[in-house]
């Protein structure tokens, strides 16, 4: 089917276009043309002056619609998470499991693979956040499951997770450099997080190939005037990227603004969203605009990706086109997917339609 989306402000990921139409055929973007140049075979869909942007991408989400994936390891959990993502303009997500037993990680891989085999709507892969983290910066993670890695265990995770295990958050100071190299060589996206690394250790880790840090400021050694820590290393490194949770709770909005001014295109949004769970290892209790553990520890956000964009614009003064890039173009670039994150010829026709209040009207996926 050939469709022309007309009468919208189009945020392509590169430019902002008006008076034009996006042509799509069989889930692929064919072109962006003037509205009076739409070929006759295209069905026209009038977007009534709304905004059109690339579908958003979330590289760290644990569940949605009251289903926490690690608690209910099922295809239904992944489907619920996908629907939650769509409600916030997000068409692609990396399902995430926090520190747990290796056996539970392996079961999560099995379920995610089964979801893939049934169509795998929206699923980019599995992000293991832990267990190779620093207990000093465990945050809401299970301390009794934190461990140091072995080559045997990492090789087993890589082998069992072929095709689905795509990303891992670890503390570089807790892992031998050769084991980090092994993950990188196997195309696992490695992110530094839940870490107490010194500035020197963190800089060395980025220099040696770790490309990303997980949720800037949260669960990492802070910037201090005598020891700049992981935060200082992220700020000062020329290529290190980082995700950030833009809800005003995980990170004060002024701190987001400072990070954006320093890092520019190296910073992008994640939701770090969880779902309410009253049983199991991770008990997330909803507190109006975030989730806590029973002991009061902050354990996850209640964000959608479009709420990240809205907060970025309204609270951090990030221009809308740039906030959209932080939720789509930059995550796509990080995972090296050249078909996502832009409205451009040859890209996937995944897009989000939203109004001036950032309410999602439609996620085209």
* Mean pLDDT, residues 25-38 taken together: 97
Every domain of the chain and the residues it spans:
2-53+344-364, 56-334
What is the reported pLDDT for 334?
98
Q: Which CATH class is domain 56-334?
A: alpha beta
* Range 142-167 average pLDDT: 98
46, 272, 292, 356: the catalytic one is: 272
* Interval 45-82: pLDDT, tens: 999 999 999 999 999 999 999 999 999 999 999 999 99
* pLDDT average, residue stretch 144-168: 98
d(CA 250, CA 324): 20
When the pLDDT of each residue in the chain is averaged and rounded to a whole number, the result is 97
Q: Is 119 exposed, middle or buried (0-12, 13-18, 19+ CB in 10 A)?
A: exposed
First CA to last CA distance, the chain: 14
Q: How far apart are the C-alpha atoms of 327 and 347, rounded to whole Å? A: 16
Over residues 1-19, the mean pLDDT reads 97
Can 272 be counted among the known catalytic residues? yes
The per-residue pLDDT for 80 is 98
What would the mean pLDDT of 106-113 be, rounded to a whole number?
98
Dihedral, 154, 157, 163, 166 alpha carbons, nearest 10: -60
Q: 236-284 pLDDT, tens per residue?
A: 999 999 999 999 999 999 999 999 999 999 999 999 999 999 898 999 9
Domain 2-53+344-364 sits in CATH at: 2.30.40.10
pLDDT at 81: 98
Question: What mean pLDDT do residues 173-182 have?
Answer: 97
Query: Which pLDDT score is estimated for 221?
Result: 98
Q: What is the pLDDT of residue 16?
A: 98
Q: Which residue intervals of 208-356 are DSSP H helices?
A: 229-236, 253-263, 305-316, 320-327, 329-334
pLDDT, residue 129, reads 98
Percent of the chain whose predicted confidence (pLDDT) is above 70: 100
What mean pLDDT do residues 31-54 have?
A: 97
Local confidence band at 294 (pLDDT 50, 70, 90 cut-offs): very high
3-class SS of residue 177: helix
User: Tens of pLDDT along 299-345?
Assistant: 999 999 999 999 999 999 999 999 999 999 999 999 999 999 999 99
Residue 201 CA to residue 238 CA, distance in Å, equals 16
**Diameter of the chain by CA atoms?**
66
Give the per-residue pLDDT at 262: 98
């Amino acid at each position: 089917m050939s469709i022309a989306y007309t009468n919208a402000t189009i945020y392509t990921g590169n430019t902002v276009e008006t008076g034009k139409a996006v042509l799509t055929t069989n889930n692929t973007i064919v072109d962006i043309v003037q509205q009076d140049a739409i070929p006759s075979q295209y069905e026209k869909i009038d977007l009534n002056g709304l905004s059109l942007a690339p579908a958003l991408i979330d590289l760290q989400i644990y569940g949605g619609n009251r289903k926490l994936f690690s608690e209910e390891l099922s295809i239904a959990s992944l489907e619920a998470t996908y629907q939650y993502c769509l409600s916030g303009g997000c068409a692609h997500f990396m399902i995430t499991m926090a520190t747990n037993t290796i056996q539970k990680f392996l079961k999560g891989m099995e379920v995610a693979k089964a979801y893939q085999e049934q169509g795998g709507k929206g699923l980019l892969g599995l992000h293991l956040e832990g267990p190779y983290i620093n207990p000093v910066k465990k945050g809401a993670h299970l301390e009794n499951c934190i461990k140091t890695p072995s080559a045997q265990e990492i090789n087993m995770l890589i082998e069992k997770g072929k095709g689905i295990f795509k990303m891992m958050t670890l503390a570089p100071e807790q892992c031998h450099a050769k084991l980090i190299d092994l993950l990188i060589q196997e195309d696992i996206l490695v992110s530094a997080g839940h870490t107490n690394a010194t500035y020197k250790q963190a800089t060395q880790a980025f220099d040696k190939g770790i490309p990303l840090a997980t949720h800037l400021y949260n669960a990492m050694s802070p910037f201090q005037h005598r020891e700049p820590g992981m935060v200082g290393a992220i700020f000062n490194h020329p290529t290190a990227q980082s995700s950030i949770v833009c809800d005003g709770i995980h990170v004060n909005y002024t701190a987001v603004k400072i990070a954006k001014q320093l890092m520019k295109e190296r910073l992008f949004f994640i939701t770090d969203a969880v779902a309410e769970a009253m049983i199991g290892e991770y008990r997330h209790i909803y507190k109006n605009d975030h989730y806590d553990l029973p002991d009061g520890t902050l354990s996850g956000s209640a964000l959608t990706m479009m709420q990240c964009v809205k907060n970025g614009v309204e609270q951090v003064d990030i221009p809308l086109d740039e906030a959209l890039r932080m939720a789509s173009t930059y995550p796509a670039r990080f995972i090296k997917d050249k078909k996502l994150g832009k409205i451009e010829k040859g890209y996937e026709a995944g897009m989000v339609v939203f109004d001036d209040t950032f309410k999602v009207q439609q996620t085209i996926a």
